[in-house]
Amino acid sequence: MFVPSVAGAPAPADATRPGRPRRKLRLAPYLYLIPAVILLVTWTYKPLVESFWLSFFDWNLIPTSPKSFVGTENYTTVLTLPELHQALLNTGVYILAFLVFSLLLPVAIALLARRVKGRAKTVYQALIFIPFLLTPVATSAIWRWLFAPEGGTIPTIAATFGWDMGNVFRDPALSIWAVIVIVGWQMLGFGVLVISAGLAGINPDYSAAAALDGASTRQITWKIIVPLLSPSLVFMGLMTVLLSAQWTYPIIDIVTQGGPSGSSTNIYYLLYQFGFRNFDAGLAAAAGTLFFVGFGLIALIFVELTERLSFHDN
């Protein structure tokens, strides 16, 4: 329909399918899609396959040095590495902690603050969104300063309560929590805005009807609002699981380098270290393949959940 040269004279089929052009092989859609598809294949899918292929080789990333085939050795090495176990455990801790910042707190705040309207609301929203926009290097620098043992605001305040914090980033028990606070700080406002938008999208007639039938505020919240909110909740959950590793990377890289002794690392930072610190491309590729499969499964579960849990509001 949009490519007269290919489509030719209008056929009767057009009348039966208003809006969509006839089902006839035409070139135009493919031409429009080609640039994007070529780029995706070149920079996402081809490297994914290459990464899988590399995972069976031993290679130090230097183009001139040979790749030697080692079979599944990289996989057995990766799975028995203590660093990996620590990183996996930390990844779990990170994700659970981030779910508090991206879901639990935002839902609580959005529900408690939903009566705040108008100009005040716009101003609050503008302010709480700022951390999400901040450049990661700046975020890291700011929090390094806030946590600085000498003159940092947080240890100074802690000292007045009699707690000598020391350098949290060098403390194996605290470093992971420091990273969680920093990334959580970046996510919280975004979470609140997404959940508030979800709340705003719920037709108030349901709550009003339930209130007329004598439902209590608590009942309305848990039986009507939260289920209707489930698409936003599932979405934020998926975002958190899939992106938390991405969000933590710059902070870990600048603030703790995964340390001390692996206490704040996560699997993606470990992948980076395998590849670009130890120059062990095979190991990094094997670990990457495993995590791709693992996270893919988690994502599929979430997608399935979305389908099941979505009560559409119309």
Under rule CB under 8 A, which residues in 22-61 are in contact with another protein? 23, 25-26, 28-33, 35-37, 39-48, 50-51, 54, 61
Among the listed residues 100, 132, 259, 260, the single contact to another protein using CB under 8 A: 132
DSSP 183-204: HHHHHHHHHHHHHHHHHHTS-H
Q: How many residues touch another protein (CB under 8 A)?
A: 131
Site for another protein in 292-311 (CB under 8 A): 292, 295-296, 299, 303, 306, 310
Backbone angles phi, psi at 69, to 5 degrees: -75, 125
Asked whether position 116 contacts another protein by CB under 8 A, the answer is yes
- In whole angstroms, give the CA distance from residue 267 to residue 260: 15
Amino acid at 253: D
For residue 13, how far is the Cα from the chain centroid? 45
235 token code pair: 């979405």
CB of 123 to another protein, least distance (A): 8
Backbone angles phi, psi at 57, to 5 degrees: -125, 160
HEC per residue, 108-161: HHHHHCCCCCHHHHHHHHHHHCHHHHCCHHHHHHHHHHHCCCCCCHHHHHHHHC
Amino acid at 111: L
Say if residues 149 and 165 touch (Cβ distance below 8 Å). Answer: yes
CB of 53 to another protein, least distance (A): 9
Asked whether position 194 contacts another protein by CB under 8 A, the answer is yes
Judged by CB, which is closer to another protein: 172, or 204?
A: 204
Site for another protein in 270-289 (CB under 8 A): 271-272, 275-276, 281, 284-285, 288-289
Asked whether position 133 contacts another protein by CB under 8 A, the answer is yes
Neighbours of 220 (CB within 10 A): 17
Max distance between CA atoms of the chain, in angstroms, equals: 85
Judged by CB, which is closer to another protein: 43, or 173?
A: 43
CB of 94 to another protein, least distance (A): 14
CB of 222 to another protein, least distance (A): 16
Backbone angles phi, psi at 193, to 5 degrees: -65, -40
Among the listed residues 83, 100, 156, 223, the single contact to another protein using CB under 8 A: 156
Asked whether position 113 contacts another protein by CB under 8 A, the answer is yes
Q: Which stretch binds another protein (CB under 8 A): 71-79, 89-97, 170-178, 191-199?
A: 191-199
Say if residues 117 and 156 touch (Cβ distance below 8 Å). Answer: no
Among the listed residues 168, 174, 176, 228, the single contact to another protein using CB under 8 A: 228
Among the listed residues 64, 68, 80, 135, the single contact to another protein using CB under 8 A: 135
Q: Which stretch binds another protein (CB under 8 A): 69-77, 80-88, 92-100, 200-208?
A: 200-208
Asked whether position 134 contacts another protein by CB under 8 A, the answer is yes
22 token code pair: 């006839």
- In whole angstroms, give the CA distance from residue 94 to residue 251: 13
